[in-house]
């Protein structure tokens, strides 16, 4: 079975505002993992959805 190559149509472009320190940390982590900046963000987002989810805290 052939692997489908992804194109720009397979993604939704979005703007994300992050603090400078987090931006730098993401770039550093991406370089260390030999991933691009976007790939690092996707990797970390996907990791955050794995496993059990904790319910949100009740609002007072």
Per-residue pLDDT of 2-57, as tens digits, reads: 788 888 888 899 999 999 999 999 999 999 999 999 999 999 999 988 876 666 77
Largest CA distance in the chain: 53
In a domain, 2, yes or no: no
Per-residue pLDDT, 53: 67
* Distance in angstroms (rounded) separating the CA atoms of residues 38 and 23: 11
* Distance in angstroms (rounded) separating the CA atoms of residues 52 and 19: 28
What's the DSSP call for residue 34? T
Domain coverage including residue 44:
19-48
Per-residue pLDDT, 34: 98
In a domain, 41, yes or no: yes
Provide the domain count of the chain. 1
In a domain, 24, yes or no: yes
Token pair recorded at residue 50? 């794995």
In a domain, 26, yes or no: yes
C-alpha pair distances (Å), 20 with each of 17, 26, 27, 33, 44: 9, 10, 11, 20, 18
In a domain, 28, yes or no: yes
Per-residue pLDDT, 4: 83
In a domain, 58, yes or no: no
């Amino acid at each position: 079975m052939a692997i489908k190559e992804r194109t720009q149509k397979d993604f939704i472009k979005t703007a994300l505002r992050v603090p400078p320190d987090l931006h730098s940390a993401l770039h550093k982590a991406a370089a260390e993992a030999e991933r691009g900046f976007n790939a690092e963000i996707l990797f970390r987002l996907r990791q955050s959805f794995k496993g059990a989810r904790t319910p949100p805290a009740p609002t007072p």
